[in-house]
């Protein structure tokens, strides 16, 4: 018996965070847990209204809590995180995979208690989270991507309406949202039906000849298809206008970041002119990034200005959160996740990831 007690005492570990708490996040209810010596009722439930979240913060203050852990459940954790962060708590968001519950009966209360115990002993890793203006820019960039996805669906609606009228415009031009395609579609919506007149809207840079475009625009015009084309064009224009507003906000954030940055502002070195993509922002992204980072990241093969901007929006301007390139690659889930048993590699597949930076 003495040997057993002695071996158990050697395995005991001391708590890392003495004033730790945890929250099991839910859509309509949050279950919070503190240490058993911090409150007579160590587990309490709170609603998700803003007033409930402030009462949760007040309870943590009464219990002497300094650091709080929570799982990244959908987007429900964001209001809780922001309010607790504003109230001065050290809040970490952890991956649900790292905080997986032990086998047994699963309840919200046991989940919160288990999460609190893991955090108390320092067994949870905080997920990377951007702060300040970079986080604001990331929100604008993600909103911009969402709007482009919505606009793309209406491009398909325009193609469908044209196909139903047997107007083969999308077969003779590379992109119907280009200069030639949009000019012809707007003319059709405005009431023009003559193929000769429609073909005259051809841009000189278009590869297809005016004669080919004229033959492609001989179709069977019907009222209901014109109506669908008109609405799809109007909705596409709406989303393009919203994308332009996002560009204004993103450019303003980049200017604010450059003002607080210690990097000397200058012009990027000249490069061979590349063709601008249709979804690129309206401002000079390459010059803005050079003024912020102090180097031209677009010189890396495969990284254009817009892609570099999205990477900065997802990872920030300082990569010191990752000690080495290997850590960064592992965070992106691009390195193999080796499972070895008995000296034999059982699996080396990469982990699944929804990271936009990895994509």
**What's the pLDDT tens digit per position in 244-298?**
999 999 999 999 998 887 666 667 777 666 667 778 898 989 888 888 888 888 8
Q: What pLDDT is stored for residue 88 in this prediction?
A: 93
Greater confidence, 155 or 352? 155
The residues spanned by each domain of the chain are 11-120, 134-256, 322-359
* DSSP of 48-114: SSHHHHHHHHHHHHHTT--EEEEE--TTTHHHHHHHHHHTT-EEEEE-TTTTPPPSS---HHHHHHH
The phi and psi torsions of 250 (rounded to 5 degrees) equal -65, -40
Q: What pLDDT is stored for residue 9 in this prediction?
A: 47
% of the chain beyond a pLDDT of 90: 54
- pLDDT at residue 348 greater than cutoff 80: no
CATH numeric code, 11-120: 3.30.420.10
**Which regions of the chain does DSSP assign to beta strands (E)?**
20-24, 29-34, 43-47, 67-71, 90-94, 339-341, 344-347
Neighbouring residues of 37: CB distance < 8 A, sequence distance ≥ 6: none
- Per residue in 65-100, pLDDT (tens digit) is 999 999 877 889 999 999 999 999 999 999 877 766
Whether 257 and 137 have beta carbons less than 8 Å apart is answered as yes
Q: What pLDDT is stored for residue 11 in this prediction?
A: 52
Greater confidence, 274 or 63? 63
Q: What pLDDT is stored for residue 275 in this prediction?
A: 67
Greater confidence, 331 or 220? 220
Number of other CB atoms surrounding residue 271 within 10 Å:
10
Highest mean pLDDT among 71-75, 146-150, 190-194, 260-264: 146-150
Euclidean distance between CA atoms 346 and 121, whole angstroms: 31
Euclidean distance between CA atoms 24 and 13, whole angstroms: 25
Q: What pLDDT is stored for residue 264 in this prediction?
A: 63
Greater confidence, 316 or 275? 316
Indicate the pLDDT class of residue 8, thresholds 50, 70 and 90: very low
Name the one residue in this structure whose structure tokens are 């809780």.
80
Indicate the pLDDT class of residue 102, thresholds 50, 70 and 90: low
User: Average of pLDDT values for 126-139?
Assistant: 89
Euclidean distance between CA atoms 229 and 235, whole angstroms: 10
- Residues paired with residue 24 on neighbouring β-strands, in sequence order: 31
Crossing angle of the two packed helices 305-315 and 132-164, in degrees rounded to 10: 130
Q: What pLDDT is stored for residue 260 in this prediction?
A: 80
- pLDDT at residue 2 greater than cutoff 70: no
Euclidean distance between CA atoms 252 and 41, whole angstroms: 48
Whether 70 and 23 have beta carbons less than 8 Å apart is answered as yes
- pLDDT at residue 10 greater than cutoff 50: no
């Amino acid at each position: 018996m003495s040997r057993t007690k002695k071996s158990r005492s050697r395995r005991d570990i001391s708590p890392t965070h003495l004033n730790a708490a945890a929250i099991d996040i839910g859509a309509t209810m949050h279950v919070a847990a503190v240490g058993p010596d911090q409150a007579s009722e160590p587990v309490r439930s709170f609603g998700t209204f803003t007033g409930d979240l402030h009462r949760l913060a007040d309870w943590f203050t009464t219990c002497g809590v300094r650091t709080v852990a929570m799982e990244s459940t959908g987007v429900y954790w964001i209001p809780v995180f922001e309010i607790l962060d504003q109230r001065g708590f050290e809040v970490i968001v952890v991956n649900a995979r790292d905080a997986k519950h032990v086998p047994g009966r699963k309840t919200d209360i046991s989940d919160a208690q288990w999460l609190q115990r893991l955090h108390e002993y320092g067994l949870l890793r905080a997920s990377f989270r951007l702060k300040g203006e970079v986080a604001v820019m990331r929100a604008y960039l993600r909103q911009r991507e969402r709007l482009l996805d919505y606009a793309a669906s209406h491009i398909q609606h325009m193609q469908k309406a044209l196909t139903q009228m047997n107007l083969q415009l999308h077969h003779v031009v590379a992109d119907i949202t280009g200069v030639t395609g949009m000019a012809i579609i707007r003319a059709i919506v405005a009431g023009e039906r003559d193929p000769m007149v429609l073909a005259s809207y051809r841009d000189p840079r278009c590869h297809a000849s005016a004669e080919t475009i004229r033959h492609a625009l001989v179709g069977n015009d019907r009222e209901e298809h014109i109506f669908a084309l008109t609405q799809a064009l109007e909705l596409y224009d709406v989303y393009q206008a919203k994308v332009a507003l996002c560009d204004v906000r993103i450019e303003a954030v980049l200017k604010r970041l450059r003002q607080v940055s210690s990097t000397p502002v200058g012009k990027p070195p000249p490069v061979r002119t590349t063709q601008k993509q249709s979804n690129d922002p309206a401002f000079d992204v390459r010059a803005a990034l050079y003024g912020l980072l102090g180097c031209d990241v677009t010189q890396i093969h495969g990284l254009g200005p817009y892609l570099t901007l999205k990477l900065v929006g997802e990872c920030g301007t300082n990569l010191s959160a990752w000690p080495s390139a290997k850590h960064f690659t592992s965070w992106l889930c691009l390195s193999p996740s080796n499972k070895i048993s008995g000296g034999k590699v059982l699996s080396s597949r990469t982990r699944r990831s929804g990271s936009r930076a990895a994509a």
